[in-house]
Amino acid sequence: MLSEWQNHKAQLRSYINKRLDDTDAVDDILQEVYIKASTNLHQLKARGSLRGWLYRIAHNAIMDFYRERQPYEALPEYIAEEELTTSERARQEMAEALRPLIEELPEKYRLPLQMAELEGMSQQTIADTLGLSLSGAKSRIQRGRVKLREQFMECCDIETSKSGVLDCTPKQPGCTSSHCKYG
């Protein structure tokens, strides 16, 4: 291997040097190519393909070099925390806006819907808590959502776009704007 390496070393150095913007790293990458080739020599199928194999190792080492150098800056922790609290706050506001309408639903739909949408319980937990089959709980939650949507549409004018709800205003004097809080 050593004599074969000596035959290709100068050409490999030139190949690596042309592809790097850091001349100090050329010898490091060349050494890495030698170590990988020596360690994985058993993977080489035919001696005639040694040159191409060495160039492939060199190419991969160059790609690894650039991947490691990609500049990145970790996000400050407060940004991730802020997103989470903003998202959670929006969910809570939505839940409070919908609570009065959900409370007007018949009990068999109200309870599963409150558990799913306001308390964030899984459908299996809801089924177990209410003594229902999983499909029965899913059905009641789905029917509750349909009834809630019908109530909401009767009570409020909703303007939507592809990105979601843009505006919501009460239709009737009996409806309060708290139903439309998230608009």
pLDDT at 111 over 90: yes
Residues 44, 4 contacting (CB under 8 angstroms): no
Determine the distance from the C-alpha atom of residue 94 to the mean position of all C-alpha atoms in its chain, rounded to a whole number: 23
pLDDT of amino acid 183: 39
pLDDT tens digits along 36-82: 888 888 777 766 678 888 888 999 999 888 888 877 777 677 665 65
- How does residue 177 score in pLDDT terms, banded at 50, 70 and 90? very low
pLDDT of amino acid 50: 80
Right CATH for 77-180 from 1.10.10.10, 3.20.20.10, 2.60.40.420, 3.90.1300.10: 1.10.10.10
Residues 99, 91 contacting (CB under 8 angstroms): no
Mean pLDDT of the chain: 80
Instruction: Look up residue 69 and give its two tokens.
Output: 């150098």
In the chain, ranges of CATH 1.10.10.10 domains: 77-180
Q: What percent of the chain has pLDDT over 90?
A: 29
Instruction: Look up residue 95 and give its two tokens.
Output: 């839940």
Q: What is the CATH number of domain 2-69?
A: 1.10.1740.10
Put simply, whether the predicted model's pTM sits higher than 0.75 gets the answer no
Instruction: Look up residue 129 and give its two tokens.
Output: 């808590």
Residues 99, 142 contacting (CB under 8 angstroms): no
In the chain, ranges of CATH 1.10.1740.10 domains: 2-69
3-state DSSP assignment of residue 139: helix
- How does residue 146 score in pLDDT terms, banded at 50, 70 and 90? very high
Cα 8 to Cα 110: distance, rounded to the nearest angstrom: 77
Residues 123, 135 contacting (CB under 8 angstroms): no
